[in-house]
Amino acid sequence: MSSDSPSNIAVKIESLAYAYGDRQALCELSLEILSGEIFCLLGPNGSGKTTLFRLLSTLASLQTGSVSVMENDLADDAHAIRRLLGVVFQSPSLDRKLTVLENLRHQAAMYGLGKSVTAERIDEATRRLGIDDRLHDRVETLSGGLSRRVELAKCMLHNPSILLLDEPSTGLDPAARSDLWSYLRLLQSELGTTVLMTTHLLEEADRSDRVGILHEGNLVALGEPNTLRAELGSDVVSIQCDNPSEVIDQLQTNWQLASRQLDGIVRLEETVSAELLSDVMQSLSGQVDNISVGRPTLEDVFIHHTGHQFWHDVEVVQ
């Protein structure tokens, strides 16, 4: 996909900043999301994902910067933007005492859909999601995966151009997560729906077309998952030892290898050949407890750009 044409940009964010008092949740964030792509905002708790989601879904007002959705400015056209969006929140929004059909009819009425259009849209959405046989079941009797499908059907009734999903896999087992992704790809291929989701699950972000990695309100990496991993080289080498500082000095002095210490583990910052790694292992054998070599992951990308583990204690600023 190319971002050369403005019409190919579904969401444009420029110099977006947001603070809760003296706590900065977003820091001069700029980002473009392309029409028809599945885009993941990946970050641990406190990275700013929820704040950005609230702004994009028009639940919070802009403080600094600008956001446009399908060329509608958020500051001036929030009402028009809401009609373009289908939103699935992390917390369930279904009435558990009502049936699936009653929940869907209520949503259609909120968007002013006529009776015949409502029936057609409900039939289409529930068949796509495989829940057309559960229309008369109360939501409280459904599994987490089935409830999430109803949430998706509900937000798609008005045929939104952009689907916003906040941590959509929360509470879902692996099979339900797989079903969710199958449906998102179906929406993408058949309707050209743009999907923007927040997630703290590395494996979920790996399935997206592009991923933006957030850390303490900053966008630290952006691109296709494979491209971001490839930028780190072919392998990631981690060395467990009792004296990380000494090992780091030896790596630099003897082999001119850059490395860093992270939670007591030495991580090489550059690609190392098998021959050189063998030499390093032999020379450090008496000082090293374990050396592991693995393909780069999105967590490695996060570590490379932040110097932190993906899961670390932070003061939560959503």
> Quick one: 107 and 189 in the same domain?
yes
Cβ atoms of 296 and 233 closer than 8 Å: yes
Are residue 46 and residue 182 in the same domain, yes or no?
A: yes
Average pLDDT over residues 211-225: 96
User: In this structure, is residue 301 part of a structural domain?
Assistant: no
pLDDT tens digits, residue range 6-29?
569 999 999 999 999 999 999 999
User: Is there a domain that residue 271 lies in?
Assistant: yes
Alpha carbon separation from 101 to 133, 141, 143 (Å, rounded): 10, 14, 16
Residue 311 domain-assigned? no
- In this structure, the strands spanning 218-223 and 210-215 are antiparallel
Q: Is the pLDDT of residue 98 over 60?
A: yes
Predicted TM-score (pTM) of this structure: 0.84
> What is the domain count for the chain?
2
**Domain end marker among 211, 229, 247:** 229
Q: Letter for the amino acid at 109?
A: A
Strands (E), the chain: 9-20, 23-34, 38-42, 64-69, 72-73, 85-88, 162-166, 194-199, 210-215, 218-223, 236-241, 259-262, 265-268, 288-294
| pLDDT (0 to 100) of residue 12 | 97
Question: How many Å apart are CA 248 and CA 236, to the nearest integer?
Answer: 15
| CA atoms of 284 and 241, how far apart (whole Å) | 10
Specify whether 197 is located in the same domain as 221.
yes
Query: What CATH number is given to the structural domain containing 165?
Result: 3.40.50.300
130 shares its domain with 241:
no
Same domain? For 160 and 241 the reply is no
- Residue 1: predicted pLDDT: 43
Domain boundary among 181, 212, 229: 229
302 located within any domain: no
Write down how long the chain is.
318
Query: In this structure, are 222 and 249 located in the same domain?
Result: no
Are both 104 and 215 inside the same structural domain? yes
In which band, very low, low, confident or very high, does the pLDDT at 2 lie, cut at 50, 70 and 90?
A: very low
Provide the pLDDT for residue 102.
97
318 belongs to a structural domain: no
Query: Per mean pLDDT, which range of 25-29, 169-173, 191-195, 243-247 is the poorest?
Result: 169-173
Most confident of 117-121, 175-179, 186-190, 269-273: 117-121
163, 217: one domain:
yes
Same domain, residue pair 24 and 77: yes
Q: Assess contact for 197 and 155: CB atoms under 8 A.
A: no
Domain carrying residue 243: 234-295
- Is residue 210 a part of any domain in this protein? yes
Please say which residue of 198, 229, 260 terminates a domain: 229
Say which amino acid occupies 242. D
Same domain, 290 and 193: no
Q: CB under 8 Å to 167, separation ≥6 — which residues? A: 90, 197, 198, 199, 200
Residues 6+ apart with CB under 8 A from 130: 149, 179
| CB contact set of 60 (below 8 Å; sequence gap of 6+) | 18, 51, 54
Q: What is the CATH number of the domain that holds 248?
A: 3.30.70.260
Let me know whether 205 and 254 are in one domain.
no
- The answer to whether residue 198 scores a pLDDT higher than 60 is yes
What pLDDT does residue 312 have? 53
311 or 146: whose pLDDT is higher? 146
Cα–Cα distance measured from residue 50 to residue 273, given in angstroms and rounded to the nearest whole number: 41
Main-chain dihedrals φ then ψ at residue 91, nearest 5 degrees: -85, 135
Is residue 197, in this structure, part of any structural domain at all? Answer: yes
Same domain? For 38 and 103 the reply is: yes
Three-state secondary structure along 279-299?
Answer: HHHHHCCCCEEEEEEECCCHH
197/205 Cα distance (integer angstroms): 9
In a domain, 313, yes or no: no
Contact between residue 66 and residue 236 where contact means Cβ atoms under 8 Å apart: no
Shortest CA distance to 150 belongs to which of 183, 193, 198, 109? 183
